[in-house]
Structure 1
Amino acid sequence: MTPEEPQTPTLSQQAPSLEERITGALVGAAVGDALGGPVEGYTPEQITDRHGGRVRGVVGPWNGDAWRTARPIAPYHKGDGHVTDDTLMTHALVRVYDRVRDHLDAYAIADHLVPDLMTTPRWIPELEAEALPLQRIFLAEKWLVARLHYGHADPREAGTGNIVNCGAAMYMAPVGLVNAGNPQGAYTEALEIAGAHQSSYGREAAAVFAAGVAAACVPGATPESVITVCLSLAKDGTRTAIEAVCEEAARHRHFETALGALRTAVAPFDTVGPDYRAPSLGARRPSRLHSIEELPVALGMLLIAAGDYGPAVLGSVNYGRDCDSIATMAGALAGALGSPVPAPWAKTVAEASRLDLWAPARTLTAVAREVFRQDLRRRRAHEQVFAALEGPACCV
């Protein structure tokens, strides 16, 4: 038999395209969010007891049919494939990009994101009703409306005084995707945007997460290269926490052995304390020594899973605590690397949440291309000005 000539791989076989990476990141974030929602706030042991083992996909509400009244979750229907505020905020930020069609700053958050949250009813899966997003988001996100709309604070400083948590970081994937392949640009833009929402290590985590997503879009990127970029940009406790967690993660090949170990590694940097639902007195206060828990753990799970979407997200989900946000971040990073989101999970989440998970990706892909073309024109204009100042030799 004559051997067949080897086929030239297509671009998508060689490396995922921009559109594929953006789709993977946004759909991956939403699916991770939905998988983590019903077990948020619990420990790995409690999750195992409740579900008879580790969570391996979409599960129902923690309190079953009593979700409407059972505390502390009521009145939210967490579970059954419903996304949470992580995804609602991510999609809201995509809509801001769609309106502005350029890089964003803190004023774009005040001018566009805040009105979106407080004036336009949307389907809220956890409420099973149309409502204003403002009626669903957590108090740390309501701060945006309180400070920017009612308080008329300077958008660049409005985050000061808010509790320090992962509220800004959880929806920063679009910033990394618009700056795909440019982690420094993503870091700078996210730092500016997050200043309207957070301060201290909460703001820093938002910038580092966006940079990580941008780094994951680089062809040939790996979890190791993403973490290296994050460490090169991260400051203070955020950097130290990522370093400690990823050093521990490198010792594991499966999340099963890492659940307790990663918690131990991040604990010295986490201000919330061992009881997630009863934070310590020092919780969520500004500090140069501390870090949010979610980003380092998401990076650790990505490393343990070798970038594979399923294990990275399931590890994040079964970690417990703020696992919907951890799985949102891990899912976005794995999706940006090009690891496929399991189609049955995506279908279930889209149908249960009554959301088109792919439409925001199409929108953001078009925006990213448009922004890149504008950046190119701006850069060429700068080159011409600089050449006029320094002479032709400057560009040799």
Structure 2
Amino acid sequence: MTADENSAETRGPDFRGRVHAVVHGVAYGDAMGAPVEKLSAAEIRERYGRVTSLRTEWHRTGQSEQARQGRIRGHGIVTDDTGMTLALMRIYGRERRHLDAWDMGTGMVREITWERHWVPELQREAALIERLFYPEKWIFQRHQLSGCDPRQGGVGNMVNCGAAMYIAPVGVVNAGDPQRAYDEAIAFAMGHQQSYGLEAAGVLSAAIAQAFVPGTTLDQVIRTAHDLAHDGTRSAIAAIVEIAETLAAKGAGPDEVTAAFHTAIAPFSPMGDDLVHTPEKAGRASNAYQPSRLLSIEELPLALGFCLTAGGNFKQAVEDGINSGRDTDSIGVMAGAILGALHGPSVIDPEDAALLDDANRLQLGAAADHFTDAALAIQANDAASAKAILAARRALSNPAKDKAAE
């Protein structure tokens, strides 16, 4: 084997291939989890046995249109997780620079409110805000209706995984630089989320940026996520990783893993199994989903844990996350994005990719290519800026020598 061949083998998939895999991982995990979202693990087992395919019927199919809120799911249809990820990719495509909270207040507000795209769950062209959950509609309310300082856009919002679920593109743009990915995700998502919901967005971006590093391992990705996390998010990741390593060593089955994970995450997450909003819950005072330095969204630590217990296997990690119940689509999105970045296009099954495009009227490959071009342009600007900064610092360290050299 030549040195060049060894180098290519060490590098693994190229940047473009990994971006395609991240985009596919988001859509795949989203569409896989959507039909069973809000069911408990026990309910999924009772109804489906185990979800292993995109061609799964939504558990609410057959209910009235009012009960379904006019939506359809199943058989490859994605949700707002993918919709907002694609929106963020389009913002990068237009701006071709790093983003901050002002881009949430302009670019994301325009994307979700004033641009119309095919919304698969509604089966029509619409503004994405028609589909969004209340914490994501907050973006429009705070930035356009309230005219807030963009950096305070997330203040007062319900704390949830809404920012983390679409933040993967920030990790892509900052591939190889987890700290910068964390910082940019925080700077951008603070226009939407606060507290541990904001923290999760930063940590997931960092994990994805680390996964792009040639030759990196899943353990290194998870260590990066843990080390850059703060407060309850860091503690929750540590708790899940500890139990995941134990379960992986003993070869525990998915049901045992899910039960152990839910026990481990309970001190950090207010979610539980009862996710359905009903009239009976109106007016109940609760600390759930309120700012806290001690809590964590559960989707990110669980996604990391399922990646570990699956040994980094893309499909197994997504499937195990989906079958654990609760916020299934977002767990699938996070596991899919991380392992897509780590493994590259080998995770893309052509049949699954074709179904995702067809069911959602998307061209995920073309969207990934356009986003890749924007990310590469940003990275080229970063390289030029870094070179100029280095030259300036060298001049400052020895100005007399540099002047003599002139």
Q: Give the TM-score band, short-chain normalised.
A: over 0.9
Residue 172 of structure 1 contacts residue 209 of structure 1 at CA under 8 Å; is this kept in 2? yes
Please say which of residues 17-26 and 255-264 is displaced more in the overlay.
Answer: 255-264
Say whether residues 1:235 and 2:218 are aligned partners.
no
Match of 1:87 in 2: 82
Match of 2:52 in 1: 56
* 1:256 positional shift: 3.8
Give the 5 Å matches for 1:133-144.
133-144=128-139
Residue 159 of structure 2 contacts residue 291 of structure 2 at CA under 8 Å; is this kept in 1? yes
| TM, length-normalised to structure 1 | 0.93
Moved over 6 A (4+): 392-395
Q: Flag the 1:377–1:44 CA change in 2: closer, same or farther, 3 A.
A: same
Give me the identity figure in percent: 42
Match of 2:292 in 1: 287
Say whether residues 1:45 and 2:35 are aligned partners.
no
Measure the CA separation in 2 of the matches of 1:105 and 1:14: 31
2:334 to 329, 333, 341: 329
Measure the CA separation in 1 of the matches of 2:26 and 2:312: 14
Q: Deviations over 1:260-286 (max 9, x none)?
A: 111111111002244223688121000
* 1:29 positional shift: 0.8
* 1:110 positional shift: 1.2
Match of 2:266 in 1: 267
Q: Deviations over 1:27-58 (max 9, x none)?
A: 1111100010010001111011111x110112
Q: Flag the 1:10–1:129 CA change in 2: closer, same or farther, 3 A.
A: farther
Give the 5 Å matches for 1:1-396.
8=5, 11=8, 15-51=12-48, 53-58=49-54, 59-66=56-63, 68-69=65-66, 71=67, 73-253=68-248, 254-277=253-276, 281-338=286-343, 340-391=347-398
Please say which of residues 256-265 and 322-331 is displaced more in the overlay.
Answer: 256-265
Measure the CA separation in 2 of the matches of 1:351 and 1:204: 35
Measure the CA separation in 1 of the matches of 2:7 and 2:398: 43
* 1:324 positional shift: 0.2
Letter in 2 for 1:351: D
* 1:393 positional shift: 10
* 1:341 positional shift: 2.7
Letter in 1 for 2:45: T
- SS of 2:150's equivalent? coil
Q: Deviations over 1:241-296 (max 9, x none)?
A: 00101111112345343111111111110022442236881210000000001000
Letter in 1 for 2:170: V
- SS of 2:152's equivalent? coil
* 1:330 positional shift: 0.3
Measure the CA separation in 1 of the matches of 2:197 and 2:61: 33
| TM, length-normalised to structure 2 | 0.91
Q: Deviations over 1:152-203 (max 9, x none)?
A: 0011111000000000000010000000111001000001011000000000
Q: Flag the 1:394–1:264 CA change in 2: closer, same or farther, 3 A.
A: farther
- SS of 1:313's equivalent? helix
* 1:14 positional shift: 5.1
Structure 2: any 5+ residue segments left out of the alignment?
none
Letter in 1 for 2:260: A
Measure the CA separation in 1 of the matches of 2:51 and 2:111: 34
Residue 310 of structure 2 contacts residue 317 of structure 2 at CA under 8 Å; is this kept in 1? yes
Measure the CA separation in 1 of the matches of 2:255 and 2:9: 32
Q: Flag the 1:50–1:372 CA change in 2: closer, same or farther, 3 A.
A: same
- SS of 1:269's equivalent? coil
Measure the CA separation in 2 of the matches of 1:18 and 1:64: 39
* 1:13 positional shift: 8.3
